[in-house]
Every structure is written in C-alpha cells, then in structure tokens.
Amino acid sequence: MEKLITLVPLFPLVGFLYQVFFGKNTSKQLTTIIGSGAIFASFVVSLIVFNSQLHSHHAVTVKVFEWIHAGSLHIDFAFLVDSLSSTYLLFITGVGFLIHIYSSGYMSHDEGFNRFFAYLNLFVFFMLILVLGDSLVTLFVGWEGVGVCSFMLIGFWYKEHANNEAAKKAFIMNRVGDLGLIVAMILIFSNTGTLNYVELFNHGKIASLSPSMLTTIAIFLFIGAMGKSAQFPLHTWLPDAMAGPTPVSALIHAATMVTAGIYLVARNGDLFEMSHTASNLVMYVGLITALMGATIALTQNDIKKVLAYSTVSQLGFMFVALGMGAHSIAVFHVITHAFFKALLFLGSGSVIHGMGGEQDIRRMGGLKKYMPTTQKTFLIGTLAIAGIFPFAGFFSKDQILAHAMEHNMPVFILLVIASACTAFYMFRMYYLTFHGEFRGTHAQEHHLHESPASMTIPLWVLAVLSIVGGFIGFPHAMGHAIHFPHALDHFLEGPVLVAVGDMSVTVEIILALATMGIAAVMIYVAHNIYIAKATPVLEDNEITSPIHKLLNKKYGFDELYEAMFKKPANAIGHAFATVVEWKIIDGIVNAAGTAAEGVGALARRLHGGHIAGYLLTFIVGLIILLGLIFKA
Amino acid sequence: MKELLLTALLGIGILVLDILNLKKYVLPFILLALATLVGFIAADWGTIETPFGQTMLVYENGANLALGVFAVVLFFWFILSSSYFKQHEGKTDLYALVVFSFCGAGLLASFGNMAMLFLGVEILSIPVYVLAASKKHDLASNESGFKYFILGSVASAILLFGITLVYGATGSFDLAVISNFIQDGKDASIIMNVGITMILVGFLFKISAAPFHIWTPDVYQGAPTWITAFMSTIVKAAAMVALFKLFTGPFQFYVEANGYTIGVIAAVTLIASNTAALWQTDVKRMLAYSSISHAGFLLSTIIGNASLLSLLFYLLTYSIAGIIAFGVIKETQTLEGNPLKGLYRRNGVLAFAFTAALLSMAGIPPFSGFIAKYFVIAQLIEAKYFALVVVMIITSAIGAFYYLRASLNVYQHIENAGRIVLTPLIKWTYILLTALLVLLTVAAGYIHLL
C-alpha cells in the first residue's frame, strides 16, 4: 500500500500544472473541481496509506528517483512513510481539502481565482514533500517550497503595497531560520556523511557525535524551526502574514506550514533527546512565545490579528511540550490545533466576508442574529481553544500542562497563566463579535448575511472534528482506569518520542478540573466586562495605561527590529550602492571597458587592408615566434 | 578509404549532373551522398584501415569521427544555403568546388604522411580561393578572393618549407617515423625546430590565430556570406584537426618545450580579436573577429592535453552556431539599413536561432558553447596554464558584451516589419540546429562513452 504514496504529492502537482497551463480558460467551477478534487484524491490515498500504517506499523521507504549522485554524496528522492508522516498527511490533505472547498466560496468574486487555486495546490504539494521526504535534503525542498508559496499567497493581493511588505517580511524572517537549518544540515553531513533519517537515527550515526556537536546541531535545527513556526524572536512575520486571504491564514499560517517546525523537531527527536541544553532552549523559547503571544492577543482588535497571536502562543505551547521530551503530545496539539484554529480562521473569514471586508472587532457586535451558523461553529472553536472538556483543545493542552507540572513547576505556572489569557482573549473576541449591539455602519449592517454553503459546510465539518478530535489522545492515567487507550501515542510510538508520566488518576482529574475552572473564571470575567457591563473597547489613540500600550504595540518588536536591523541594513546598503557600486565597481568596469576599446583601436589599425602590410606582419610574426622558441 | 572515394566521386558526379542538365537533382544527390558517408563512417566504427601501406592515410575512430563532424556540418550547410544558391547561375560549379574542398578536409582528418597533409591543405584551400571570389561582379568578393589567394599561397609556402626542413632533419614524411625519431631519444635539431615552427605558422594562418589572422576580417566580410560560413566552419575545423593531430602526435615534444609560447599566441589571439570586435558595426565583420577568438580557444587545446573528442565537440558546437549566425545574416542581407534590427518581428524562428547561436558562441549555458569552453578551460587548469585561463575569462566577458549587443538588436521594436518567409525545410532546419545547441549540452555528459 505504501507504494501508492507517490500519488499523494502527485495529485496536487498535477492540479497546479493544470492551473498554470490551462487556468486562464478554465471556468471557476472547473477550477474548483480540479483544485479541490486533486486534494481530495490525495486525501483518499493518504487514508489508505494511513490505514496500512495503522495495521503494519512498519516504516517504509519508497524511492521515487535517484536524485543527487556526486562523489560520496548520494541522495535519493525518496519518501519515508511511517506513523508520523502518515499522521501529518492525513490532516494536511483533510484540512487542506476543506479549505479548498471553503475558498471556492470565499474567493468567488476574486479575479485571481485560478491563480489562487494554483498556489494552494502548489503549497499542498510542497507541504507533502516536506513531511514525506526521507532525508533532510528532501525536507528542505518542501521547506523552501512552502516558504515560496506562503510568500506568494501573503502577497496575493499584490496591488496593495502593505501586502507586499508583509510578504517580504515573512520571507526574509523565514530565511533567517532557513540559514539555521542549512547550517545544521551541513554540520550533520560533514560529521556523519548522511542526511537520511533512517541512517541517522535507526543506524545510529547520530550517536557517534560528541555531545557539544549534538547540541550545536540541535540548536541550529531549532533556529530553522523557530523561523517557520514563528517562535520568539522570529515571530513578528506571522501576524503580518494575515494580509493574505483568510483561507491562506487558515491553511498555511495556522494549520499546516507553521507546524513544520514542530515536525522538524519531532522528526529529529533523538537528537534533541540527547542534548539537554538544546531541549531546555526549546522549552524556554516556547514558553516565552506562549506567554508573549497570549498577552499581546489580549489587546488586539483585528479579528485575524487576535487569531494570529493566538497561533503564535499555541505554537509556543507545542514547543514547550517538545522541550520537555513529550514529542507525541506536541504532535497531538498540532492536530487538534489544526482543527480548531482552521475552524476559527474560516469562521473569522466568514465574518469578514459578511462584514464586507471589515476586520476590526470594535466595529462588530451582535452578529449572532445575522450569521447563526458562523456563530455556533465559532463558539465551538473558541471553547476548544479555551480548553473546555470535551472539546479537542482540552485534551492536548491539558496533557502539556500535566507534563509541565511533573517536569518543572515554574514553567507549569507560567503556562497556566498563558492558557488563562487564552480563554480570556478568545471569549473577549467572541463576545465583541457575536453578542451585544452592532457597532458598525448602516451600510455594513445592511450588507450582513450568512455565508454560502460552500463556506459553512467546511465550518461544520471542522466543528465536529474540534469536538471529537481530542479523543484520539485520551489522558494516560484516566484512560487506563476506564480502558480508553491513548490511541495517538500508541500509533506514534517509535518514530516519535512518547513521554508517559507517572501521574495518578486523582492528580490528573484535579488538574483537568483546575485548568477548566480557571478557564471558566476567565470566560465569566470576559462576559462580565464585555456583555454585562458592555465596556467599550478603547480606540488606539485613547490608550493611556503604559502596559496596555506596550501590549497593543506588541512589545515593540517591529520598532526594535526596524531600528536594529532594517535601518542599519538600509544605511549599509545605501553606502554600498552609492560608494562601492557606483564609484568603485562601476568605475573599474567602465575603466576596463575603455581599456578594452583602446586595445581594440590599436588592434584595428593592423587591419589596414594592404596586402603588403599583411605580409609584413606575417614575416615579423614568424621572426618573433622563432625568437621566442630559441630564446633559451 | 571509401569515404574519401565517395566524396571525390560526389564532386565529379555533380559536374556530370550539370552536363546532363539535371541541375534540380543536385542538392538531393549531395544530401543523399553525405548521409551515405555518415552511414559508412558508422559502419566502419572501431576498425582501423590503412590504404597504401602504413604511410599515407590512416582511418581510425578519431579520423572517422572528425570526418563525420565535417559531413554533418556540411549537410546542414547545404540545406540552409540552398535558397541562396537557387538563384545562382553557376550553382553546380560552386557545389562541386565545395565538395572538392571537403575532400581536402577528409584528407586532413586522416593523413598519416606529411605529403598527404600538404595535399590536403591545398585541396582544402584552392577551391575556397575561387569560392571567395565567386560573386564575379562584386568588387568586395573579388578583393576577398584575391587577398585570400595571395596570403594563402605565402602561408602554403611557409608550411611547405617547414615540411621540407622536418624532412631534412628526420629523413621522412611519415608521421610514425618522425614520432619514432623523437622517441628514440635523438635530439631535435635546430632545423627540426625551425621546421616545426614554420608548419605551426602555416596552420596558425589557416585557423586565423594571431598574428597571422589579420586577413580574416577582410576576406570574411568580402566573400559571399555562405562561403564565409563554409570557411569559418569546415575549412577552419579541418585545419584545426590537422594541427591537433600533428602537435599532440609527432610534435608533442615541441609543445612540451614551447607550451608557454603557444599559450602566448592563444592569449594574444583572444585579446586582439575580442577587443577589435567591440568596434565593429558590421555584424559579418564582428563574426569574423568572433571566429578569430575561437581560434584562441581551439589553439589552447593542444597545450591543455585535451582529447580529440573535446576538440571535435568544440568544433561541432562552434560550427553549428556559425552556420546559424551566417545563415541568419544572409537571410536578412537584402534589407535596408540595419537588417538585424527588430528581426523578431520579421521572423521569430530566425531571431531565436540567431540569439541561441550568439549566446552559444559567448559560452552561456544551457547552450553547448558553454560546455565546449568549459572542457578547454578545465583541461588548461589541469595543465596549470592559469594566466591563459584568466585571459580567456576576461576576454569571454568582453565577448559577451558584443554578442549580447548584437542579440539585443534583434529584439528592438520596429514599425512596419515585413515578414521574412522561409521554406518549411529551412525553417525546421534552423529549429533543429537550435535544439541541437541545447541537446549537445546534455550529450556532453555521455561523451566519455565514445
């Protein structure tokens, strides 16, 4: 069955190529059918492969073609099918398919409809290459590919300059991370002679490395992960990436691409396991990011920005889990997060669609009346991310917290604070958007409508997944007591590190109740402020409290980077352009050109056209030549 | 041997067809014969044939391959030039002369004796003197033929003098005997060295390397364009193959002792041609200088321990680009003013083929000129001629300037462009040749299999 795996990335590639070559003359319906159909076909094959993995549980390498063969470097373009990659496959193609369907409604009035589907298909193709590759080199192809697609999709509405700026920012920030990944790859190759996962980990090549080298490699790999997964201090591109169409935010900047960093760390889990320093770094960076994202989200008023910072924060949670060695839990949170965050983004897209492009929650309110389906599914997503039983987010987040409690108490407390913030900002947004009085203009109110079925059906599917998705990872101790297994851990065990705590059932239950209690209190507080008292949200220029200002300005990272990197880089660039380039290099080039012309003018004089002169040159040439030969 | 007989008979056959008034069958007849020739070569692959004993001609893989390359280039030359010769009254005579000249090229690919070498050079050159002057009422063509004839005879005289001196030193014309003479440990006398130097000069003239190149721009510019194309490809290639055979064979000791001097000649050739080409406003004259600059590369192969294969690869690549470029110039020659300007509006195929040919000559990937130059430079680096490599790279940069200037010209916008109509055969030949320029790059990877 695993042989079929080649088909999985092939379908989106074919879809992409179709749009490239025939897209212009294709109707929107056919584009939808081909674009979504390609992903659906991939999803079906993924299901077959996944099912086969579920039974056999054996990692299989499928060689597609011989790729690079130069000296000692031998790299095949091959796919590694194991439980980790097949799990990723399933939600990439599954969520990807739903978002394609949704896009057919959301983008229906856009003139770049074909282009959009082409990019989306290409993105899915590269994302599949990323998770299927059997070596870091193949991963890198996908890694850069999704980066390019992300760039093109953030700047999809390229006529607005701000979108291009955001696209550039995302690309450049990612390049910083990519450099880390490249350095890690070079170090691994120069020390072990291979970049293939099986050879590195199963054949023990990695174990032969010195501890300091292991730590260095792990840290550089993690820098790569930080760029792609928007971890502090490389996180500032992700909120700006919301400039892209909302389905893009849902698919790329919430559900799939940004979790590539988690995949990278989980895939190279043994490496991190062997380096305590690197693992701790992962945990602390994740913790800082989780807290920072959650606190910034408290004060944002753009519906997509809130979700973006929430994504940053949730990715931080995942890295904390990775840093604690609970890799399977991180992957679990990736999956549940893909469900509910895609749901929330698509819900926000539905709201933006209904509001005619308005994204500021201060201009919304009372949308429940106009968009009941969006409201209901959005509430489900909000409950899921807030961590309320039995919604999916509860299970994964609870297990991260449980591990933190066993592992490191201060980290646990800070995570609890971050998750309390999550409950608050999510319900703040929910209440401001769907409850209370409508605060927008009359024109907007008149325009309000529920979104078409192509958009609401994916919402419902994701809502259902957000409700039941958590049960694939039932907590160990409790599950043991009621004979409900942690299906995901069992499945992932082997390729992915599984950390099983020794927590008792009682503690597990108390912890679950306590975190839910805190979330409930935060929801109540949010309700109290924004519904019962109906406190108006301050406009940006009315903010006086310094802390509020700091959070609203996102801790000033953008301004800091502007002053630290952008301005000096621009100054250096300007100096190079004016002095080095124009004066020195152009000067040399022009001088060389002038010299060449001068020599040419001399050479040309020889060709006077007189035969006698030519003959003389011959004889002189012969004499000089003889002289050269007999000079010794 | 049968290849050579076939060629000679082909030349006579053309004249017979003329007498029988069957002119319209001449071209198919020639193409058929050339295809047969290539077939013979393929059939003879791997065998060694030495007619007339050991001395006169030696047919082995290298000679056959060289002949094959010349035949392929000539095949396409005949197809592309057909539209020009169609209006020419003396078509069959000129065709016969070209084929006889090709006979000389065949001798130069397979000679095993200096007598055959000299015969080959003369048979190659004498028809070309006539061909260069074949536009009887055109002053420039007459001047071109006359200049070429006078200067060519001097070069032949120097060559013959050199052969005589080598005979005096070794007592033989036979290459094998000369080789053994050196290998037996006998010192090369002054007479021998002077002789070899004069032979070298004779060939430097033929391949137009500095300082014996100065006739080239005048002659190339004045001669009918298709004859120029023939001269700059097959004539030059045959002379180069002969030079290569001599100086990597019996005269290798001379190259080992004087590699530096030959490197200087190559460097001077490159510098003089590329800088002079910058000044040219006439594209045909510019291509003449380009042809000289390629002589610099070709000459370097003998000091870089290059294989005959890489030389033939260079010659094939360069010749294909050459007949495309001269062909396109000929197709546009009837136009007023700057005929190449805005060519893409007149005929897209010609414009693209021309660009590809020039980029290949400039050595820009993916065209095979890049690989050809790469082979040469890689072998020079291995032989540690770093200064020459630096000169090559700098002059290639200068070259890129005038090649790109000419190809940009083709894409300038012009109003009211009249279409240039090509017959389907010629159009597809241009497309095929352009494709070959790219395919050869790929094929270069398999060159070691031969």
d(CA B359, CA A28) in angstroms, rounded, equals 42
Written in H, E and C, the secondary structure of B203-269 is: HHHHCCCCCCCCHHHHHHHHCCHHHHHHHHHHHHHHHHHHHHHHHHCCCHHHHHHHHHHHHHHHHHH
Specify whether the CB–CB gap between A289 and A316 falls below 8 A.
yes
Tens of pLDDT, residue by residue over A266-319, are 888 888 888 888 889 999 999 999 999 898 888 888 888 889 999 999 999 999
Distance of CA B449 to the CA centre of its chain: 25
Asked if the model's pLDDT at residue A480 lies above 80, the reply is no
pLDDT in the model for residue B226: 93
Q: Do A618 and B211 touch (CB under 8 A)?
A: yes
* Gyration radius from chain A CA atoms: 29
* Ramachandran bin of B228, using left for φ above 0, alpha for ψ from -120 to 50, beta for the remaining angles: alpha
Instruction: Answer yes or no: do A600 and B279 touch at CB < 8 A.
Output: yes
Distance CA B70, CA B105 (A): 8
B346-358 pLDDT, tens digit each: 888 999 999 999 9
How far is Cα A39 from Cα A33, in angstroms, rounded to an integer?
10
Residue A608 has a pLDDT of: 65
d(CA A455, CA A247): 10
> Which amino acid belongs to residue A351?
V
Q: Give the pLDDT mean for B120-148.
A: 92
* Predicted confidence (pLDDT) per residue in A362-379, tens digit: 888 888 888 888 888 989
Query: Distance from first CA to last CA of chain B, Å, rounded?
Result: 22
Which of A254-263, A400-409, B274-283, B314-323 is the most confident on average? B314-323
Nearest by CB to A609, from B194, B200, B218: name it.
B218
Chain A residues with CB under 8 Å of B398 CB are 596
How far apart (Å, rounded) are the C-alpha atoms in residues B121 and B111? 11
Could you give the CA distance from residue A494 to residue A285 in angstroms, rounded to a whole number? Answer: 26
**Over 70: is that where the pLDDT of B190 sits?**
yes
Distance CA B335, CA B353 (A): 19
Q: Which of B197, B218, B276 sits opposite A625 (nearest CB)?
A: B197
Region B373-382: mean pLDDT is: 90
Return the number of other C-beta atoms located less than 10 Å from residue A545's C-beta: 11
- C-alpha–C-alpha distance, residues A460 and A455, integer Å: 9
Cis omega before residue A390 (within 30°)? yes
Q: What is the DSSP letter of A542?
A: G
A chain contacts of residue B273, beta-carbon cutoff 8 Å: 603
Nearest to A241 by CA among A343, A345, A314: A345
Q: How many CB contacts within 8 angstroms connect chain A with chain B?
A: 80
- Per-residue pLDDT tens over the stretch A98-128: 999 888 888 888 888 888 888 989 999 999 9
* Residue A554 pLDDT level (bands cut at 50, 70, 90): confident
List the single residue in A with minimal CA-CA distance to B162.
A622
Confidence tier at A604 by pLDDT (50, 70, 90): low
- Please give the distance of CA B227 from its chain centroid, rounded to a whole number: 12
Residue B200 in contact with partner chain A when CB distance is under 8 A: yes
Task: Report the chain B residue with the minimal C-alpha distance to residue A611.
Answer: B147
- State pLDDT tens for residues B161-188: 999 999 998 888 999 888 888 887 777 7
Mean pLDDT of A332-339: 90
Instruction: Please report, in angstroms and rounded to a whole number, the separation of the first and last CA atoms in chain A.
Output: 77
Enumerate the residues of chain B whose CB falls inside 8 A of the CB of residue A621. Answer: 201, 210-212
What backbone phi and psi angles, to 5 degrees, belong to A77? -85, 100
pLDDT tier at A605 (50, 70, 90 boundaries)?
low
What's the alpha-carbon Rg for chain B, to the nearest Å?
21
Do B28 and B44 meet the contact criterion of CB atoms below 8 Å apart? no
Q: Is B212 in Cβ contact with A621 (below 8 Å)?
A: yes
User: How confident is the prediction for chain A on average, in pLDDT?
Assistant: 85
Across A461-489, average pLDDT: 79
Residue B31's pLDDT is 94
| Contact (CB, 8 A) for B212 and B205 | yes
Contacts of A478 (CB under 8 A, 6+ apart): A484, A505, A508, A509
pLDDT band at A209, cuts 50/70/90?
A: confident
Tens digit of each residue's pLDDT (9 = 90 or more) over B329-344: 998 877 666 788 888 8
| Residue of chain B minimizing CA distance to A613 | B214
- Is residue B337 within 8 A of residue B418, CB to CB? The reply is no
Looking at A24-28, A161-165, A605-609, B281-285, which range is the least confident one?
A605-609
Distances B338 to A412, A452, B281, B354, B409 between C-alpha atoms, Å: 80, 62, 10, 15, 9
Partners of B158 on chain A (C-beta within 8 Å) are 618, 622
**Residue A124 structure tokens:** 């899915």
Specify burial of residue A350 (Cβ count, 10 A radius: 0-12, 13-18, 19+): buried
Q: What is the percentage of chain B residues whose pLDDT exceeds 90?
A: 57
Residue type, A237: W
Q: Is A160 exposed, middle or buried (0-12, 13-18, 19+ CB in 10 A)?
A: exposed
Which of B40, B20, B36 has its CA nearest to residue B28?
A: B36
Query: If you average pLDDT over every residue of chain B, what do you get?
Result: 90
pLDDT number for residue B78? 95
Which residues neighbour B140 within 8 Å (Cβ) at sequence distance 6 or greater? B221, B222
**Min Cα separation A609/chain B (Å):** 7
A124-144 per-position pLDDT tens digit: 999 999 999 888 889 999 999
Asked if A611 and B150 come within 8 Å (Cβ–Cβ), the reply is yes
The distance of A629 to chain B (nearest Cα, Å) reads 7
